[in-house]
Amino acid sequence: MSIYLDNAATSFPKPEAVCTAVDQALRYSGANPGRGGHRMALDAGRIVFETREALAELFAIRDAARIAFTANATEAINLGLFGMLKPGDRVVTTTMEHNAVTRPLRALQDRGIILVKVPADKRGFVEPSAIFEACRQKTRMVVLSHCSNVTGTLQAIEEIGPRCRRDGILFMVDAAQSAGLFSIDVEAMGIDLLAVPGHKGLMGPQGTGFLYLREGLNLTPLLYGGTGGNSQSDLPPDQMPERFESGTLNTPGLAGLKAGVEFIRSEGQSRIRAHETDLMARLIEGLRAVPAVQLYGPQEPRLHGGALSFNLRDQDPSEVGFLLDREYGIFSRVGLHCAPDAHRSIGTFPRGTVRVSPGYFNTTEDIDQLLRAISALASHPPA
């Protein structure tokens, strides 16, 4: 029996309702949404509409039309950054970002934006006061991850966002590691742009995600093409969400995403969070008891998302991950996790770490089996 502890990459398994919804959409609603008036096309369009509405309710978004579907959070981030920023704009970010944020900003820096990276401490935490200090010069946007994919460190977006709103600074949040696990209210948190994947905490299929754009803001589209309407013009439509949804949407994926959101609502976010917090507390306590283990990030489960990084003294993380898989059937993630600046911040660059990320379907026995495996590897390191 295998144990999957790589939910920070993609949640697994999916709720049965998600698999059923994808299957039903492929079998019975396989037409193009918004591309015809026949019954099957209308059924496909209804799936898209209902998924948008479900997401709007989950994230306290007043107008569901402000949600543009994308293939993943990376596309959503690129749409927000390339669509909003212009040469001369000053952007403040942090050293805890995933390459989904770092690389587009680096490309935009070559095109003339001014980029400031606020350093994190060894736990991966960025003080809000440091963000505010960096914004004393005129700043167009603050962009940061809600929760680190390396250390699981939770950032204080509920404090940063309202201050940015007050100061007239756009606030963009990468919620790849927090959406579905933590309550996110875009209005209360002052979020202007929110990038979310469907395949992680929302428990939907891969190939789904969205960008929320606050009312009153507009972007230059990232993609141009057919939108199902306004076909007489060679320009994209002005209205959302069609302006940013060129081409055929992933209707079966969105059907699965809607089922994932409905599963979260039926189980209750607080229940999901409580279970994953209990698993993380057990994991941290157990790893701290192994003398050869070096833990990274916060040690308090309440400050933690779903990811935890560690190393075994004098052992390469890649070899540890390989042995966990081969000898114990435990699936983890090793290396730099597409976040080299984060590893520089916590002192693990270029070696990287072993990362484990429990999910809602993991059990305490899964954690105990991991701890037994780590203890064995620490006691008998490979020659």
Query: CA-CA distances (angstroms) from residue 77 to 103, 135, 143, 144, 363?
Result: 10, 21, 10, 11, 33
Nearest to 358 by CA among 316, 330, 382: 330
CATH number, position 300: 3.90.1150.10
Q: Is the pLDDT of residue 237 over 90?
A: no
**Residue 46 DSSP one-character state:** H
Contact 219, 264 (CB under 8 A): no
Give the count of domains, the chain.
Answer: 2
Residues 161 and 240 in one domain: yes
Question: Pairing state of beta strands 170-174 and 141-145?
Answer: parallel
Worst-scoring range by mean pLDDT, 31-35, 140-144, 265-269? 31-35
Tell me: do 202 and 88 sit in the same domain.
Answer: yes
Q: pLDDT tens across 193-232, in order?
A: 999 999 999 999 999 999 999 999 999 999 998 877 778 8
Residues 288 and 160 in one domain: no
- pTM, two decimals, is 0.97
Query: Structural domain of residue 102, as residue ranges?
Result: 62-245
Whether residue 69 is found in the same domain as residue 200: yes
Residues 178 and 305 in one domain: no
Q: Do residues 255 and 343 make contact, with C-beta atoms less than 8 angstroms apart?
A: no
**Backbone torsions φ then ψ of 45, nearest 5 degrees:** -65, -35
Mean of the per-residue pLDDT values of the chain: 96
- State the Cα–Cα distance between residues 3 and 107, nearest whole angstrom: 38
Rg (CA), the chain: 21
Pairing of the two strands 330-331 and 170-174: unpaired
Q: Are residues 189 and 73 in the same domain?
A: yes
pLDDT digit string (tens) for 249-306? Answer: 999 999 999 999 999 999 999 999 999 999 999 999 999 999 999 999 999 988 889 9
> Is 290 found in the same domain as 226?
no
Q: Is the pLDDT of residue 180 over 70?
A: yes
Q: Please tell me whether residues 349 and 309 are part of one structural domain.
A: yes
